[in-house]
Amino acid sequence: MPEFTYSDVSEHATKKDLYMVVHDKVYNASSFVDEHPGGEEVLLDVGGQDATEAFEDVGHSDEAREILDGLLVGDLKRQAGDPKPKANPPGVYTPNAASSGSGVGTYLIVALGVVAALGAYQYLQANKDK
């Protein structure tokens, strides 16, 4: 399988010639730009660079991953000074601060709602006899 450097990939960043890196694999997305369900802008924004984080953040389906496999043209040949991988390998989930924080916030809101409902219930029960 051919190997590409980041420099090689960066030379392919137009709608008609669009390469990107996902998990250290190089994909030619040129033929898929017009069919991409998220629109061409999404692909053009990451064209010629590492799209791993953007690809994984969306949570693509198995079908999307199969389409991606069909666009494979080579492997990324890492060199000194290249950026580090931007996301975990496929299938590895590590919650980021924003997602774990919003989960705690949701539980806090639910807990406060339960406390408020309990207080309202007790108030109504106490005033029911009056």
Q: Which residue has the tokens 């802008």?
A: 41
Give residue 108's pLDDT. Answer: 67
Give residue 119's pLDDT. Answer: 76
Question: pTM, whole model, 2 decimals?
Answer: 0.66
Following DSSP, what letter does each residue of 33-89 receive, concatenated? GGG-TT-HHHHHHHTTSB-HHHHHHHT--HHHHHHHHHTEEEEE---TTPPPP-SPP
Rounded Cα distance, 73 and 51, in Å: 15
User: In the chain, which stretches have pLDDT less than 50?
Assistant: 92-101
List, edge to edge, every strand of the sheet that includes 3-4: 3-4, 72-76, 25-28, 17-22, 13-14
